[in-house]
Chain A
């Protein structure tokens, strides 16, 4: 028995089959790889954005830490940034001394980010106690100052003539000026 299908139906069926095959081929060759790619991209994106979030959190923590430190050690930071001002120093610590004179700031050394300047002082104190007070007070000064040898004390009547060296540490990250002032210490 021969099944006769009309030409119209043959055209219809063949176009349907063609379109069906096209749909299938398109789905399998194009859509499925694209879908896979999409999923891969998505997971990678998720991964990366998760990592970014972690980084962000870490950054935020570190930033908080930094801010905290900056707050805590504000005095030190500021002191390091401050440029040594002899006049101000004198004004601030005059009370410890009967008289106080400073030599010029001299650049002594440079190590890493710090430069050490030296100031020679000559002063007169009424008693060693004021010197002790001075030593305590200098820790709270506007600068980072280390009182250093040589330290001389000489009795001069009622007062003691003292001279000592001060090393001022400065943050050289933005400081590039060096003052050269000479003043002899009186001894």
Chain B
């Protein structure tokens, strides 16, 4: 059988579903080496004919094909224990499937959502379903084993936040921007109307909304003027990542923000902020002061986001671009080829 296996190529299909689009990434391995890759995007958030034919055109080449998908369930997360007794402290696992990593932390997701995924893709079948937390911890594996830091995966419609220290998960939360966005949207609509009536520019609206919430937190951190201190600037210089430099130098940073991206970035920031707050407040978690935040950017954020963290939370921000499909494919490959 091993000999027969080596006669065939292995095809890994990775599907990442965003808002209204699905990215399909195909990587082809021969004798455990990557020989080819293809990527396509389809306007569907489940599956359509074109996607099926695209995938099948590669999977029919070999019996050894593996179709992986990134779990986008709303009811998923991760907890810092593998012991069944302690799990119930963090989350009710009666409706969830969970998996232990490193004998230290567990990621979980809703059983029904898994069935939904399998059912949705029954035309092609699913071999692997990965948690974004696995992707995240694998992506930042060089940083996770260091001092405590926040590791965040930003997708189009969800945020996966985790706190790692010395390769151990301290805290994690999966946030869906859609749910909270509803409440936010109402407010922004009001403010928009205000703007139209008053004719003020955009930034001011957000500031006014923000001022009500963030006043307290700002007090905690001291005056805004402190941000202009040279010391802080020096800190930024020392801890800058190479990727971050590259990011800033490339023209990937949209200097001119549209209203939407600006909104989204801020939303993201607020969600993350909320989650961090939750981490500090919740007695279940041993909270420490979080200085560093590592962001895996799958969606394309502006430099504004970085600024938010730096100015408002006084955190060191390191943003790495992540190609989710490639990362999912890497996980699948490690499941099969090692």
Interface residues of A (CB under 8 A from B): 4, 6-9, 11
Contacts and interface: CB of A to CB of B under 8 A. Distances in A.
B26 to A, nearest CB: 14
A8 B63 contact: yes
B220 to A, nearest CB: 62
A162 to B, nearest CB: 115
B6 to A, nearest CB: 13
Given A6-B62, A7-B8, 14 more contacts: A4-B57, A6-B60, A6-B61, A7-B9, A7-B61, A7-B62, A8-B8, A8-B60, A8-B61, A8-B62, A8-B63, A9-B60, A11-B7, A11-B8
Q: Which among B57, B61, B62, B63 has the highest number of chain A CB atoms within 10 Å?
A: B61
14 contacts: A4-B57, A6-B60, A6-B61, A6-B62, A7-B8, A7-B9, A7-B61, A7-B62, A8-B60, A8-B61, A8-B62, A8-B63, A9-B60, A11-B8
A3 to B, nearest CB: 13
Contacts of A7: 8-9, 61-62
Contacts of B9: 7
Q: Which 9 A-B pairs have the closest CB atoms?
A: A6-B60, A7-B61, A6-B61, A7-B62, A8-B62, A8-B61, A8-B60, A8-B63, A7-B9
A8 B64 CA distance: 10
Nearest to A6: B60
A8 B59 CA distance: 10
Interface residues of B, number: 8
A8 B58 CA distance: 11
Contacts of B8: 7-8, 11
B interface majority secondary structure: loop
B3 to A, nearest CB: 13
Contacts of B60: 6, 8-9
Nearest to B7: A11
Interface string B1-30: 000000111000000000000000000000
Contacts of A11: 7-8
Contacts of A6: 60-62
B75 to A, nearest CB: 39
Interface of B: 7-9, 57, 60-63
A107 B7 CA distance: 101
Contacts of A9: 60
A9 B8 CA distance: 12
A106 B8 CA distance: 107
Contacts of B63: 8
B60 to A, nearest CB: 4
B80 to A, nearest CB: 45
A56 B8 CA distance: 70
A7 B60 CA distance: 7
A18 to B, nearest CB: 14
Nearest to B58: A6
A4 B60 CA distance: 11
A104 to B, nearest CB: 103
Nearest to A11: B7
Contacts of A8: 8, 60-63
A9 B60 CA distance: 8
Nearest to B11: A7
A8 B62 CA distance: 5
A11 B60 CA distance: 12
B27 to A, nearest CB: 16
B52 to A, nearest CB: 15
A36 B9 CA distance: 47
A60 B57 CA distance: 83
A8 B7 CA distance: 10
B228 to A, nearest CB: 63
Contacts of B57: 4
Contacts of B61: 6-8
B248 to A, nearest CB: 45
Contacts of B62: 6-8
